[in-house]
Every structure is written in structure tokens, then in C-alpha cells.
Amino acid sequence: MNSVISTVTGHATILLAVLAILEGILAAWLFRRNDEMRVRLRRAREAADQAARVAALAAPGAIDPEIVLQLLKTGQSVTLELVHSVMEQRERAEAVREGGEP
């Protein structure tokens, strides 16, 4: 037991250096992995936006894909009723701006 303790205390600097190197390698790997995940997340978001646009264009009633994307970005659930109500609100707001009927 004393020989183990004396070995560890005698080589503490070397052990600390090895530990620091291992920690540096792990940190570098984690940074690289984080960057890879950011790229994948960006691609997934772009694919989700594109899928929402396509789904909105394919849906009955000529749903505006930008409204679907707006609801997705705000975290709201995208239901047909909610999309139609937002579309109606936009149409009323545009009519008021143009001086039409409120």
C-alpha cells in the first residue's frame, strides 16, 4: 500500500499531465460533436420548414404556408382551425390597412 501511495505522489506531475491531456482530447471531441449536431439541427429545421410548406400547399382550402411556419416557430400546435383563424385575422388586418371594410 505504501508503495502505491509513494508511486502516485512521486509521479503526481506526470499523472496530472496525462489527466489534462485526456481532458483536452475529450473537450476537443465534444466541441467537434457539438458543431456536427448544430449542422444536423440546421438541416433538420430546413427540411421541416420545407415539409411544412409542401404540406400547407397540398392541404385543402389554400392554406398559406408562411402561417404554418409562423405557428411552428412560435411552438403552437398547427391545427386546421388555428391556421384558418390566423389567416382570417391577417385578411381582416390587410382589409383595414387598405381602407376596406373592418
Find the domain containing 62 and state its range: 2-97
What is the pLDDT, as a whole number, of residue 26?
A: 98
**In the block, residue with C-alpha cell 499531465:** 17
What is the pLDDT, as a whole number, of residue 23?
A: 98
Asked whether residue 102 is assigned to any structural domain, the reply reads no
Q: Give the dihedral sign, CA 85/87/93/95.
A: negative
Asked whether residue 55 is assigned to any structural domain, the reply reads yes
Count up the domains in the chain and report the number: 1
Asked whether residue 9 is assigned to any structural domain, the reply reads yes
Asked whether residue 77 is assigned to any structural domain, the reply reads yes
What is the pLDDT, as a whole number, of residue 18?
A: 94
Instruction: Please give the C-alpha separations between residue 81 and each of 58, 84, 100, in angstroms, as whole numbers.
Output: 16, 5, 25
Contacts of 87 (CB under 8 A, 6+ apart): 63, 64, 67
Asked whether residue 7 is assigned to any structural domain, the reply reads yes
- What's the rounded Cα separation, in Å, for the pair 53 and 45? 12
pLDDT mean for each 10 residues of the chain (102 residues): 82 91 97 96 87 72 77 80 85 82 54
- What's the rounded Cα separation, in Å, for the pair 97 and 42? 36
